[in-house]
């Protein structure tokens, strides 16, 4: 998020798209509801489903799945045409406006209505409300990014915020709501194939040298970015990836096109899984290393607003399990011994894998990461800190891009509407959408083992529109089979008016009704994110 959870209630207008906030980020949805009910903020909701936030929305746009760019380009078109663009902000802080204006010249509300199914009048109203706001904040989640044009979608949202000067002030900004508790941190820490900590690029020689020197590396960090999850799985299938080490993930259940992933995991010559449960991926492993839960370890998580917060050990370790940090250090020691790395050449003192604890690891991160250099465990003991925080005196950064953007000027990106990779057709006439429910989490490893949560929602279901169900002689509770070009899943149907006609909705928490047996592994060309939110399926009674 460019802004903070704490300033959501200061926005005049909230634009929420591709986020079922009440179920996926419940506590943030409370702040949104507070803004609407207590301060009279206007909520523009963009979502094909009638989710709970629809009850709070001033305007609810329900586009056909995967047509985000047509909708957002039309909003830009209206804002420019009606003179609502903030000319001073555009002149002082942005570039490439002319190219944007040219690109949306023909993106009229009527054109967008034909593509998205949203009445032109509603589109115009939404653009006016957003464009006239004193402060407007945009929020999104995987409904925007899990698309073959996810990067375009995010850039389209940034275009809207740039066009209206909604950056660098309370109650504004572009705010992705990150899914997992530490997905922000895993990215920040270089858990990505192209960057080291805080997005320092592996292609930059000076950066590589800095890390190699500090680490006393006996091997060179390659200049070429590595493979993403989906590419790793393809590599396994094609025999180029021989070994995979998985820490705290279950790709078997969470990756798209499950049959393909299973084949890939089986094809790998050597699979190591470090986890707290024997999940589906671990069952295929050659070695399983028992790790510990968040309650048994020390460290930090970084939340969606870039706030780094302490995780404190509360319980003794169960059985012979080991803390993840100790497992990795053990591996590090064994590998460096075999590599014959000479620790005497090392300028930094903690590169021999004998860290005294998580705070010692953090100190090394802080030295190598300019945007986090001011953060220490001593400071975190007094409360979380939002990066960037470059010096010990720096208070952290609740609002980014106040005076300038990271790259200097904010750049408008002209965007062209493209259809999703797979639209419904005669053979597979429905569109499958996937998401979460409040009571469960991801593959269910944690939530399904919690008695209360499992009591409230004990099983998955397949939601279809009431009229569609009646047309196919399907009633709530009937067993139905959903099939796509990649696989099938069988479960109980639930008929609901909250879905548009032609849509099937499934959560992905239940392995018995695996939504990801059906989803499409076609990816965004830049972000390599699979298109989970649009897959063509058919349904039938079993």
Site residues (CB under 8 A) for another protein, limited to 322-351: 322, 324-325, 327-332, 334-336, 338-339, 341
The answer to whether 106 contacts another protein (rule: CB under 8 A) is no
441 token code pair:
């989490």
**Judged by CB under 8 A, how many residues of this single chain contact another protein?**
146
The answer to whether 202 contacts another protein (rule: CB under 8 A) is yes
Stretches 105-113, 156-164, 167-175, 435-443: which one binds another protein (CB under 8 A)?
435-443
Residues 49-78 that bind another protein (CB under 8 A): none
Q: Which member of 79, 90, 115, 291 binds another protein (CB under 8 A)?
A: 291
Residues 6+ apart with CB under 8 A from 238: none
Min CB(16)–another protein separation in Å: 15
Q: Which member of 109, 374, 384, 435 binds another protein (CB under 8 A)?
A: 384
135 or 200, CB closer to another protein? 200
241 or 474, CB closer to another protein? 241
Cis previous bond, 388, omega within 30:
yes
DSSP letter for 36, please.
Answer: H
Query: Does residue 123 contact residue 15 with C-beta atoms inside 8 Å?
Result: no
82 or 330, CB closer to another protein? 330
The answer to whether 358 contacts another protein (rule: CB under 8 A) is yes
The answer to whether 229 contacts another protein (rule: CB under 8 A) is yes
Residue 460: strand, helix, or coil: coil
Min CB(223)–another protein separation in Å: 9
128 or 309, CB closer to another protein? 309
Q: Which member of 37, 92, 98, 226 binds another protein (CB under 8 A)?
A: 226
Q: Rounded to whole angstroms, how far apart are CA atoms 458 and 453?
A: 8
The answer to whether 507 contacts another protein (rule: CB under 8 A) is no
354 token code pair:
């004998």
Which has the closest alpha carbon to 443: 244, 189, 261?
261
Min CB(283)–another protein separation in Å: 8
The answer to whether 529 contacts another protein (rule: CB under 8 A) is yes
Q: Rounded to whole angstroms, how far apart are CA atoms 50 and 260?
A: 33
Which has the closest alpha carbon to 50: 42, 58, 59, 60?
60
Residues 6+ apart with CB under 8 A from 104: 73, 74, 76, 77, 80, 414
CA dihedral 349, 355, 359, 363 (to 10 degrees): 20
Q: Taking the CA of residue 173 as centre, how many other CA atoms within 13 Å lie in the half-sphere pointing to its CB? A: 25
The answer to whether 251 contacts another protein (rule: CB under 8 A) is yes
169 or 297, CB closer to another protein? 297
Which has the closest alpha carbon to 311: 384, 375, 228?
384
Residues 74-103 that bind another protein (CB under 8 A): none
Name the residue with tokens 């024997």. 278
Query: Does residue 378 contact residue 392 with C-beta atoms inside 8 Å?
Result: no
106 or 224, CB closer to another protein? 224
Q: Which member of 222, 471, 477, 525 binds another protein (CB under 8 A)?
A: 222
89 or 294, CB closer to another protein? 294
196 or 400, CB closer to another protein? 196
Min CB(140)–another protein separation in Å: 13
Residues 257-286 that bind another protein (CB under 8 A): 269-270, 272, 275-278, 282-283, 285-286
Element (DSSP H or E) covering residue 290: strand 287-290
Query: Does residue 490 contact residue 542 with C-beta atoms inside 8 Å?
Result: yes
The answer to whether 237 contacts another protein (rule: CB under 8 A) is no
Q: Which member of 245, 413, 478, 498 binds another protein (CB under 8 A)?
A: 245
74 or 511, CB closer to another protein? 511
Min CB(515)–another protein separation in Å: 12
Min CB(164)–another protein separation in Å: 26
Min CB(285)–another protein separation in Å: 7
The answer to whether 456 contacts another protein (rule: CB under 8 A) is yes
Residues 122-181 that bind another protein (CB under 8 A): 145, 177-181
DSSP letter for 46, please.
Answer: E
Q: Taking the CA of residue 245 as centre, how many other CA atoms within 13 Å lie in the half-sphere pointing to its CB? A: 5
Q: Which member of 243, 342, 409, 416 binds another protein (CB under 8 A)?
A: 243
Cis previous bond, 119, omega within 30:
no
The answer to whether 316 contacts another protein (rule: CB under 8 A) is yes
Name the residue with tokens 């028992």. 290
The answer to whether 370 contacts another protein (rule: CB under 8 A) is no
The Cα diameter of the chain in Å comes to 75
Element (DSSP H or E) covering residue 16: strand 13-17
DSSP letter for 316, please.
Answer: P
């Amino acid at each position: 998020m460019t802004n903070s959870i704490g300033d959501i209630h200061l926005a005049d207008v909230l634009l929420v798209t591709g986020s079922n906030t009440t179920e996926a980020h419940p506590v943030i949805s409370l702040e949104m509801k507070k803004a609407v009910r207590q301060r009279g903020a206007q909520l523009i909701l963009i979502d094909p489903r009638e989710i709970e936030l629809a009850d709070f929305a001033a305007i609810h746009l329900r586009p056909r799945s995967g047509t985000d760019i047509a909708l957002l380009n039309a909003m830009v078109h209206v804002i420019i045409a009606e003179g609502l663009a903030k000319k001073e902000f555009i002149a002082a802080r942005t570039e490439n406006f002319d190219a944007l204006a040219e690109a949306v010249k023909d993106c009229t509300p009527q054109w967008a209505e034909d593509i998205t199914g949203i009445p032109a009048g509603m589109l115009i109203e939404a653009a006016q409300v957003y464009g006239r706001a004193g402060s407007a904040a945009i929020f999104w989640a995987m409904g925007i990014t899990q698309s073959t044009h996810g990067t375009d979608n995010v850039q389209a949202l940034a275009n809207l915020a740039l066009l209206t000067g909604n950056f660098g002030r309370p109650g504004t900004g572009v705010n992705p709501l990150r899914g997992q508790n530490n997905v922000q941190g895993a990215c920040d820490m270089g858990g990505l194939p192209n960057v080291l900590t805080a997005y320092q690029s592996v292609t930059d020689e000076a950066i590589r040298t800095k890390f190699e020197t500090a680490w006393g590396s006996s091997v060179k960090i390659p200049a070429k970015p590595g493979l993403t999850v989906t590419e790793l799985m393809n590599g396994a299938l094609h025999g180029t990836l021989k070994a995979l080490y998985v820490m705290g993930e279950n790709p078997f259940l969470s990756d798209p096109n499950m049959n393909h992933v299973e084949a890939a995991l089986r094809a790998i010559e050597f699979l190591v899984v470090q986890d707290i449960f024997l999940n589906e991926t671990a069952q295929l492993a050659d070695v399983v290393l028992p790790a510990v839960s968040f309650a048994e370890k020390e460290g930090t998580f970084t939340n969606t607003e870039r706030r780094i917060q302490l995780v404190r050990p509360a319980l003794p370790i169960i059985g012979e399990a080991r803390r993840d940090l100790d497992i990795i250090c053990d591996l590090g020691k064994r590998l460096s011994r075999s590599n014959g790395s000479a620790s005497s050449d090392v300028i930094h003192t903690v590169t021999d894998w004998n860290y005294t604890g998580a705070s010692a690891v953090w100190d090394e991160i802080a030295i190598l990461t300019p945007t986090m250099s001011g953060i220490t465990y001593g400071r975190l003991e007094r409360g979380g800190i939002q990066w960037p925080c470059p010096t010990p005196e720096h208070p952290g950064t609740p609002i980014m891009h106040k005076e300038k953007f990271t790259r200097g000027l904010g750049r408008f990106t002209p965007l062209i509407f493209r259809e999703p990779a797979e639209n419904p057709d005669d053979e597979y006439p429905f569109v499958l959408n996937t998401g979460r429910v409040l009571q469960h989490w991801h593959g269910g490893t944690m939530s399904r083992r919690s008695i209360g949560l499992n009591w409230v929602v004990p099983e998955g279901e397949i939601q279809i529109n009431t009229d569609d169900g009646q047309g196919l002689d399907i009633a709530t509770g009937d067993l139905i089979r959903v099939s796509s070009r990649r696989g099938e899943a069988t479960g109980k149907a639930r008929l609901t008016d909250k879905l548009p006609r032609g849509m099937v909705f499934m959560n992905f928490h239940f392995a018995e009704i695996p939504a990801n047996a059906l989803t499409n592994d076609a990816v965004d060309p830049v972000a390599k994110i699979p298109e989970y939110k649009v897959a063509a399926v058919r349904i039938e009674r079993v």
